[in-house]
Amino acid sequence: YAPHVKAAARHVGGEGHAAEDGEMIASLCHQTALFLANVACSFQGALELYEKSLEIRIKVLGQDRRDVASSYNDMANLYYKQGKFDLALEQYAKSVAIGVVLGEEHAHVAASYNNMANIYEELGKYDEAVALQKKCLAIRLRTLGEEHPDVATSY
């Protein structure tokens, strides 16, 4: 599938292509990247498609959009799986920055804080990990309520 998705992505933004086409192809790139990363374990192929999806989303939608934040977050997850913690933290930070612009009270922002906290914990930077986990917990409590399973895993 990846070669076909990449071929379609090359045509985004060309003459006669509507913004909706770009959004659809960006989503296709993103979903294929998720498959490659999580099922096929083809990290390089996934990264290429995440990057293409991100490029299209920024071009078609603009920088401060949830879909752009999602691209950064999923690229960060990929780097995290590979143990590339510096790159993962950089992408999570970009995702969080967009989330803050859009309204920090969102599950996506809480998840990014949680993921960043996990990295800092693995690096032995416990103060940073605890600070981020507290942010995650506060958002989840306010948005999901105390009985939600995601809140339970945040304590």
Q: What is the pLDDT of residues 29-78, one digit of tens each?
A: 878 888 888 788 888 888 988 998 899 889 888 888 888 998 999 999 99
Tokens of 137: 């917990």
Tokens of 104: 């920090």
- Return all residues near 17 (Cβ < 8 A) that are at least 6 apart: 11
Rounded to whole angstroms, how far apart are CA atoms 112 and 79?
13
List, as one string, the DSSP characters of 99-138. Answer: HHHH-S-SHHHHHHHHHHHHHHHHTT-HHHHHHHHHHHHH
Question: What's the whole-model pTM score?
Answer: 0.80
Rounded to whole angstroms, how far apart are CA atoms 96 and 70?
10
Question: Which pLDDT does position 23 carry in this prediction?
Answer: 79
